[in-house]
Amino acid sequence: MFSLAPHSASSWLKNLNVLSKTTEYFPGVLFSVTIGMAATFVSGAYGGPTVLFALLLGMAFNFISTESRLAPGVVFSARTILRIGVAALGARITAEQVLGLGWSTLVGVAAAVALTIGFGMAAARLLGLKTQFGVLTAGAVAICGASAAAAIAAVLPRHEMHERDTVFTIIAVTTLSTIAMVVYPVVSRMFHFSHADAGVFLGGTIHDVAQVVGAGYSVSPETGDIATIIKLLRVALLVPAVLSISILTSRIQAGAGPAAKPPALVPSFLVAFIVIVILNSFHFIPPIVQSTLSDLSRWCIVIAIAALGAKTSLAALAQVGHRAMALMVAETAFIALFVLVLVHVG
């Protein structure tokens, strides 16, 4: 008589569970992908940051995101797809690009990132906000805007207002980055910066990669090239920043007792990011795969942020308050002044 071997039965049940999860997630993921595609179309047709459009369109559909068939896939998109997107960012970076900037520039940009995060933590306390919120907002300002906000949020302890704070940070940092894209090239001309110095200033201060590229190449091709490389250095600093935050969070939660479940010491998506950077640095990744990973990263982040927006209501966002906006403006001003002095002295 036919019977299933124990290992065969176990494998069959595992496959069935994967199929069940896929079926459960599919409607919500499709919903998030559709919003991401709509945001990409609007951005291409009318200009403007795709991430911001994805966030706003997602928020417009908040009323249906909690529908039982969509909710699991929306949560999956906002967390797992986001982490895939952050990991794939590594395809944009090589060690050669970073080391080619010179040690003085490397140390200066790293100091700008570290000091901005420290400033954000201190300023948050002064304004009566949570230190965790200061880490989130300052990390977004100091490193790479919306992508950094999403990556840092993934390792911070989750709380009742976690999604609201993340969405606010993404909206604010994208808005400030767009303003900087217009204003900072004018500032570089006011100070009579050379093309190289203007590239360091723009790449070291503007939050999002797209806005850095736009501002840099509006000055000159040389400025655009340098600004882009400086910006990629800041993106590379996402690894030590998120790793440090993850380790600190783990220690704090471990000290909170057995009821608190600490996150993984080194998140798997961060390990994947590092591996991809190393492979890319040794030219083990063919150009077509590198381009595919870069596109995958962009799409995953857009889809995840669309889902994040869908999970957040305008009413909840309105509760953040003017102090939070003042904090992000102060962080933006801090890194701009620091890099301005760095370029002027250098």
| Angstrom distance (rounded) from CA 146 to CA 170 | 5
Give per-residue pLDDT as tens, 98-127.
777 778 888 898 999 999 999 999 999 999
- Please report the sign of the dihedral spanned by the C-alpha atoms of residue 250, residue 256, residue 258, residue 259: negative
Given a contact cutoff of 8 angstroms between Cβ atoms, the answer to whether 322 and 312 are in contact is no
Q: How far apart are CA 105 and CA 89, in angstroms?
A: 22
CA–CA gap between residue 308 and residue 166 (Å, rounded): 8
Confidence (pLDDT) at 320:
67
Output the average pLDDT for the chain. Answer: 82
For position 8, what pLDDT does the model report? Answer: 55
CA distance 77 to 55: 13
Q: Tell me the average pLDDT across 46-54.
A: 80
Instruction: Let me know: does 102 contact 313? Beta carbons within 8 Å.
Output: no
| Top-confidence residue, 86 or 327 | 327
Question: What percentage of the chain has pLDDT greater than the value 70?
Answer: 86
3-state secondary structure (DSSP) of residue 207: coil
Whether the per-residue pLDDT at 232 is higher than 80: the answer is: no
Interatomic CA distance for residues 237 and 92, integer angstroms: 13
Helix (H) or strand (E) holding 260: none
Give the confidence band of 218 by pLDDT, cuts at 50, 70, 90.
confident
284 confidence band (pLDDT: 50, 70, 90): very high
Determine the pLDDT at residue 302: 87
Residue with the larger pLDDT of the pair 228 and 191:
191
Q: For residue 137, is pLDDT > 50?
A: yes
- Where are the domains positioned within the chain? 24-345
Tens-place pLDDT, residues 142-174:
998 888 888 898 888 887 788 888 888 988 888
| Structure confidence at residue 259 (pLDDT) | 45
* Inter-residue contact 326 to 128 (CB < 8 Å): no
First to last CA, the chain: 83
The reported pLDDT for the residue numbered 10 is 56
- Any idea how long the chain is? 346
- Integer-rounded Cα Rg, in Å, for the chain is 21
The CB-side HSE value for 316 (13 A sphere, CA atoms) comes to 16
Q: List, in order, residues 6 or more apart from 326 with CB less than 8 Å away.
A: 127
